[in-house]
Structure 1
Amino acid sequence: MSTSAKLRVLIAEDEVLVSMFLADLVEDAGFEVVGVARTAPDAVALAQQHRPDIALMDANLKGGASGIAAAEAMARDQDIAIIFISGDSGLADDPAVAALKPVAVVEKPCMPDDLTAVLQRAARLRNAD
């Protein structure tokens, strides 16, 4: 896809198999995966290092701080499109999530085509800037 060919995606997901699935899906959609983080501090560090265009964030990362806190830190430091992916069906109603104005909140499990469509929407938003 031409609109996403140069866009860089950071994945923050603590479940190894899920992160592998997400990385494959992101690459198959024509995006570049710049890093996969398992914890919130790692996600923030990778975002500072690689300056991704899009962050695909699990809201409930292991290791202390949440994916929401990591996304807040990233958004303070850079212009980044946030996509939350979580098994928490009420996540979209969380005021901290709403304040970040994510591109989408996707509930796990999700269909690959649905997540690809969300990534493509994020790409269109980034390219419109």
Structure 2
Amino acid sequence: DLQMMLTDLDVEVVGIAMTEREAARLAALHQPDFATMDVVLRGECNGIDTAIRIYQTHRIRSLFVTGNVSPAARLRGAAAKPLHWLAKPIAFHNLKEIIRQFREGAEDI
């Protein structure tokens, strides 16, 4: 669903990663403008730690799209300099607004 919503907003999706390794590979290969990241990933590493590593390595910020938007998760994820935290289920109009602000260069969305 998220891929279709992003495509409808003229955002190119370069791949879907289920693990930290896949996410890191896609980030290195494609150098996207941003990554969408769930807090839950398969394997040993979670999405917050993965987003932090991707930010530290490639300066690619993440848009967290997750069911876990708790204050504790946000605090842990702050080191990734996230674009925003978007709660599931995703409301298209919220995603559209975040993408609009990103394209306009807003630092804090």
Q: Tell me how far 1:99 sits from its aligned partner.
A: 2.3
Q: Is 2:53 the partner of 1:73?
A: yes
Aligned to 1:105: 85
Deviations 1:10-50 (A, max 9, x none): xxxxxxxxxxx111111110111111111122111110111
Aligned to 1:88: 68
For the aligned residues, what is the CA RMSD?
1.8
| TM superposition score normalised by structure 1 | 0.73
Unaligned residue ranges in structure 1 (runs of 5+): 1-20
Identity %: 31
Aligned to 1:118: 98
Q: Residue 40 of structure 1 contacts residue 67 of structure 1 at CA under 8 Å; is this kept in 2?
A: yes
Q: Tell me how far 1:65 sits from its aligned partner.
A: 0.5
Return the letter of the residue paired with 2:30.
H
Find the residue that maps to 2:104 and give its secondary structure.
helix
Return the letter of the residue paired with 1:118.
I
Count of residues in correspondence between the two structures:
106
**Structure with more contact order per residue of length (Cα contacts < 8 Å, sep ≥ 6):** 1
Q: Tell me how far 1:93 sits from its aligned partner.
A: 5.1
Aligned to 2:28: 48
| Alpha-carbon distance in 1 for matches of 2:29, 2:44 | 21
- Structure richer in strand, relative to its length: 1
Unaligned residue ranges in structure 2 (runs of 5+): none
| TM superposition score normalised by structure 2 | 0.85
| Alpha-carbon distance in 2 for matches of 1:28, 1:59 | 24
Structure 1 residues 83 and 91: CA distance shift in structure 2, 3 A: farther
Return the letter of the residue paired with 2:81.
K
List structure 1 runs of 4+ shifted beyond 3 angstroms: 91-94
| Alpha-carbon distance in 2 for matches of 1:26, 1:79 | 21
Deviations 1:84-111 (A, max 9, x none): 0111130565322122221110111121
Aligned to 2:37: 57
| Alpha-carbon distance in 2 for matches of 1:86, 1:92 | 13
